[in-house]
Amino acid sequence: MSEMLEVPKLSFAGKVARLGTRLKDPQWRRYGLQLAAGKFLGLALLMAIVVLCSVGPSVLFGTPAHAQQAAAVPSTAPSMVMTADLTDIAKNPVINPLNTLWTLLGAFLVFGMQAGFTMLEAGFCRSRETVNVLVECVFDTCLCGILYWAWGYAFMFGAGNGFIGWHDPNSADTNWFFLQGITAMTLYGATGVPVLAHWLFQFAFADCASTICSGTMIGRTAFWGDILYSVCVSGFIYPIIGHWAWGPDGFLVTMGSPDHFLSGLGMFFHDFAGSTVVHSIGGWIALAGGIILGPRLGRKFKRDGGGPMLPHDLTIAVVGGLILWFGWYGFNPGSTLSAMDMGGIARVAANTTLASCAGGLVAVFIGYGMNKKWDAGFITNGFLAGLVAITASCYWVSPFGSVMLGGIGGALVILATEVLEYFRIDDPVGAWPVHGVNGIWGTLSIGFFASGEYNIAGSSNTGTPIVAAGEGLKGLFYGGGMQVLKAQCVGSLIVCAATFIIALIMFKVIDVVGLLRISREGEIEGMDLHEHGISAYPEYVIAASFAPAGMKPESVNVPAGSPMAVPAAAH
């Protein structure tokens, strides 16, 4: 809100207006895409250089910019009321139950996002692939629950080393596979919250990451392929890479402290509620899947005179988006794991709202500038982009910063959609623009917008803040220099690059064994009839023009081969 910031604000608005005008001109559009591609390349290079520069001195000298090793701060300690009695559980026996209630409420809301994801994906796809979306989303949830119980949670939140965890942080002899050895008395780290509540909250997060991947892969992924990659994602990629950033001893958590990774950097990686851990991981796996799969049959891209395939039910899609927004109030505020931090939960909730509002408005106005239409898909993906962007930074930025970074998210999602179109990648719901790109932007945004008012460690999903209370996290725009931005670049680059490369290999292997994509015949018949034996709307008459090239028109969408087929439908 300071005057210093008024200039970039106006400048940003001006750029948006100019962008709108220019995007209407085909020549400018071509130029813009080249520019964007160049900027993306440059950004990647910058991030790489930042990493190298940071690594260099630290490897050579090992002198941290400032000491970070400090006693753990119980996240049950509120930031506002600081009486010594507070941590005395005998005098305040209600604190842990209150925080447990808050964590569980967060878990419930995040779980509720599954309804939103399912609606969003189902609504944005064609009716012929809708049942596949439905079954896939539910299957993923069920699978993720079992895997997260079996070993996912142990890998991610167990103690171990910087790369993977497996055991109770308080007892090296007790591994957490199958949640064994956990009783009602086992609390997670310093949070005061029972491990089983933390498990539920984190399962809901893992489930989101897993569901995000499926969005890009709609309409052509064989169900056995779905199962295989979901086992890899929910069972290995997400929990192990997640451990790096959120595990009690993950190397991005301990980064910058003496004798750890990049000790010279003097700053660890911040991701409050998962712009990187949940959204970047999900979004970059999605992109890898979309690349290996190739587009759906009949999908023509803009440069080839086509455009995205039409959604089949915008009502379901947009309402799904709103339910996601609703669930985000568990995602971000719940990530304090503590209602005692009442200033924190209020700020996080308000910032989340403002970023979403700004993202939606910016995206719909850009869309109007481009097409003179108020686009339902743009405004929905716009506010979702704002939500993804604020997810990492919600604890440390001001309401003003939230509006700024959410608005930028709304612009990025449209730019990234054009990039996908340019590279002929078919992403039916825009999972990579929303989650992959804005996951990175949200993570980096801390480095720009962290206002310096709030604790470096804050509360966190890990329950293990390693920095003394009182110091504020300060980004570039608030006079904090490059340090935080560097740490964010390092973390985001490592996570995204590792995820993307591993995912490419995984999908290629599944593809080579012939399980990733359904047969051409199956795709022409329709995912739903082929894999699931039924159409989502057996009674509705569907227009033939939405069949992919080479398919016979279907005037009535009756799944004749279905085991559940009603007799009357068979004649």
Comparison of 288 and 354: residue with beta carbon closer to its own copies: 354
Contact call for residue 28 and its own copies (CB under 8 A): no
Burial status of residue 28 (CB atoms within 10 A of its CB: 0-12, 13-18, 19 or more): middle
Q: What residues numbered 267-306 form the site for its own copies, per CB under 8 A? A: 298, 300, 305-306
Least Å distance, CB 60 to its own copies, is 40
Site for its own copies in 98-137 (CB under 8 A): 98, 100-102, 104-105, 107-109, 111-112, 114-115, 118-119, 122-123, 126-127, 130-131, 134-135, 137
x-or-dash string of contact with its own copies, 210-249, rule CB under 8 A: -------------x--------------------------
Q: Does 344 bind its own copies (CB under 8 A)?
A: yes
Q: Which is nearer to its own copies, 202 or 499 (CB)?
A: 202
Applying CB under 8 A, among 7, 10, 60, 549 the residue interacting with its own copies is: 549
Q: Compute the distance between CA of residue 156 and CA of residue 150 in angstroms, rounded to an integer.
A: 12
Smallest gap, in angstroms, from Cβ of residue 282 to its own copies? Answer: 18
Contact 189, 464 (CB under 8 A): yes
Give the number of residues in contact with its own copies, rule: CB under 8 A.
153
Q: Which of residues 158-177 bind its own copies (CB under 8 A)?
A: none
Sole window of 239-247, 275-283, 494-502, 559-567 interacting with its own copies (rule: CB under 8 A): 559-567
379 binds its own copies (CB under 8 A): yes
Q: Are 127 and 317 in contact (CB under 8 A)?
A: no
Which one among 214, 221, 380, 483 touches its own copies, defined by CB under 8 A?
A: 380
Q: Does 315 bind its own copies (CB under 8 A)?
A: yes
CB-based contact 387:324 (threshold 8 Å): yes
Residues in region 510-539 near its own copies by CB under 8 A: 531-534, 536-539
Select the residue interacting with its own copies from 196, 476, 498, 504 (CB under 8 A): 196
Structure-block tokens of residue 187: 């609390």
Exposed e or buried b per residue across 422-451, where buried means at least 16 C-beta atoms within 10 angstroms of its C-beta: beebbbbbbbbbbbbbbbbbbbbbbbbbbb
Q: Which is nearer to its own copies, 96 or 280 (CB)?
A: 96
User: Residue holding tokens 């809901």?
Assistant: 204
- With respect to its own copies, which residue has the nearer C-beta, 239 or 344? 344
Q: Give the C-alpha distances (Å, rounded to integers) separating 211 from 141, 197, 229, 498.
A: 8, 21, 12, 19
Closest separation in Å from C-beta 212 to its own copies: 16
On whether the CB atoms of residues 47 and 489 are closer than 8 A, the answer is yes
Residue 35 binding its own copies, by CB under 8 A: no
Of the residues 68, 79, 280, 488, which one makes contact with its own copies according to CB under 8 A: 79
Q: Phi first, then psi: give them for residue 451, nearest 5 degrees.
A: -90, -5
Looking at the Cβ atoms of 54 and 353, the one nearer to its own copies is 353
Give the number of other CB atoms < 10 A from CB of residue 20.
15
- Do residues 229 and 36 touch, judged by C-beta distance below 8 A? no
CA-based R_g, the chain, Å: 24
The C-alpha atoms of residue 146 and residue 166 are separated, in whole angstroms, by 16
**Whose Cβ is closer to its own copies: residue 47's or residue 182's?**
182
Question: Among residues 78 and 162, whose Cβ is nearest to its own copies?
Answer: 78
Site membership for its own copies, residue 197 (CB under 8 A): yes
Is the CB of 32 or the CB of 57 nearer to its own copies? 32
Q: Which two tokens stand for residue 278?
A: 């949940």
Nearest approach, Cβ of residue 116 and its own copies (Å): 9
Q: How far is the CB of 567 from its own copies (least distance, A)?
A: 4
Quick one: how far is CA 128 from the chain centroid?
Answer: 27
Name beta bridge partners: 194. 187
Separation of alpha carbons 539 and 71, rounded Å = 64
Query: Residue 571 is which amino acid?
Result: H
Q: Give the footprint of its own copies on residues 442-471 (CB under 8 A).
A: 453-454
Between 276 and 351, whose beta carbon lies closer to its own copies? Answer: 351
Q: Which residue in 330, 353, 333 sits closest to 343, CA to CA?
A: 333
* Of residues 256 and 321, the one with the C-beta less far from its own copies: 321
Amino acid (one-letter) located at 529: L
